[in-house]
Amino acid sequence: MIIKLDKNISTVQKEQILLTLHGHGFYLQENGQSSIIRITGKNNVLPKEKIENLPGVEVVIDSDRSYHLVTREYRPENTIIELDGVSIGGAEPQVIAGPCAVESEEQILRTARLVQSAGVKIMRGGAFKPRTSPYSFTGLEEKGLQLLSQARRETGLLIITEVLDTADVELVAEYSDILQIGSRNMQNYKLLKAAGRQQRPVMLKRGMSATLEEFLGSAEYIISQGNDKIILCERGIRTFVEYTRNTLDLNIVPVIKKISHLPIIVDPSHGTGRRDIIEPMSLAALAAGADGIMVEVHPDPPASWSDPDQALYPEQFLQLMEKINQFIEWRKNAAIKSNP
């Protein structure tokens, strides 16, 4: 069972609840500072209804699943994340764009001006890069974060960047607006919990072979610590195909929308690994109901220090934005017609 405590619970009330549960033989698994208590065990003397009546308890959920707080059973309406006038999960899809990695002041500022001129509100760019080889470029680290901040100051763009390690959560949160947890870390539970204990929204990328259960279970780790500002991200899974880097699993978009109240965006850059098919897959993602897309763009893709084959050329990116805007207009009109 999961017990969700009232936001304004007093310390005395909380202590009383813990004592009562413990006294009735429940095994308590408390999540530190969080407002969630997970218990195992059942008895007739203190059934679910009685626990619900204890002062300071908001709700008791009788669930054996690995997730509950992320579901529509728990919260039927969509979670909309509002950030400085930009909303994620609302009526308008968001485009997140930027380079794979921050490489230099010139590169990040040129990209920032480009994406901003096309109407983008959120820029991506890795300062801590998870790379297959330790000899590859692994990011400018704090210097990269400072360059992202500079781009933010000069353009007003919001910044999303990856946090690789629990020890860097505070640092990355200081410089950015949204924390990204990458595929390779989707099941790094300590990192998920640390991200759940801070205030910034978190974009959680699907692990490269994660099931739906595992993906939502990981999101549950974040939300169980009190942070419900979570954006899910489908970024392709490993399959037997060899003509793309990954297989973009767009099936998951409408399925997640049914089960979960959290926004989901799609990353066709890592999902395909090929810039020539990013446009159709971006439009397909939006048609499937995604709350946005995240794409990689670089002023000079062949010179990109990471993921050069999937970075869009500036002209390609501007064309993509035009197509997306047409699509959004078309969708708005279609919604008006079907809802006169």
Point out which residues bind ligand PEP (CB under 6 A): 100, 126, 130, 162, 182-183, 205, 235, 270
Residues comprising the chain, all counted: 340
Nearest approach, Cβ of residue 33 and ligand PEP (Å): 28
Location of structure tokens 């930009």: 86
Q: What DSSP state is assigned to residue 312?
A: B
By beta-carbon proximity to Mn ion, the closer residue of 71 and 183 is: 183
Cα-flanking dihedrals φ and ψ of residue 8, to 5°? -100, 25
Residue 18, classified by CB atoms within 10 Å of its CB into exposed (0-12), middle (13-18) or buried (19+), is: middle
For residues 71 and 159, give the distance between their C-alpha atoms in angstroms, rounded to a whole number: 27
Nearest approach, Cβ of residue 216 and ligand PEP (Å): 17
By beta-carbon proximity to ligand PEP, the closer residue of 188 and 224 is: 188
Task: Give the footprint of Mn ion on residues 96-125 (CB under 5 A).
Answer: 100
Cβ-Cβ contacts under 8 Å for 70 (sequence gap 6 or more): 216, 219, 220, 223, 230, 260, 261, 262
By beta-carbon proximity to Mn ion, the closer residue of 100 and 169 is: 100
List the structure tokens of 176: 């950015």
Nearest approach, Cβ of residue 42 and ligand PEP (Å): 40
179 binds Mn ion (CB under 5 A): no
For residues 189 and 211, give the distance between their C-alpha atoms in angstroms, rounded to a whole number: 16
Task: Choose the contact partner of 177 out of Mn ion, ligand PEP, none; CB within 5 to 8 A by kind.
Answer: none
Nearest approach, Cβ of residue 5 and Mn ion (Å): 40
Nearest approach, Cβ of residue 274 and ligand PEP (Å): 15
The residue number whose beta carbon is nearest to ligand PEP equals: 182
Judged by CB under 5 A, which of 139, 223, 307, 320 binds Mn ion? 307
By beta-carbon proximity to ligand PEP, the closer residue of 162 and 279 is: 162
Please say whether the beta carbons of 102 and 108 come within 8 A.
Answer: yes
Please say whether the beta carbons of 14 and 35 come within 8 A.
Answer: no
Task: Choose the contact partner of 130 out of Mn ion, ligand PEP, none; CB within 5 to 8 A by kind.
Answer: ligand PEP
Judged by CB under 5 A, how many residues of this single chain contact Mn ion? 2
Nearest approach, Cβ of residue 46 and ligand PEP (Å): 44
Binding window for Mn ion (CB under 5 A); candidates: 83-91, 176-184, 301-309, 330-338: 301-309
Nearest approach, Cβ of residue 338 and ligand PEP (Å): 35
Q: What stretches of the chain show up as alpha helix (H) in DSSP? A: 11-23, 48-52, 105-117, 142-155, 169-175, 189-197, 212-223, 252-259, 268-272, 278-287, 314-338
Footprint of Mn ion (CB under 5 A): 100, 307
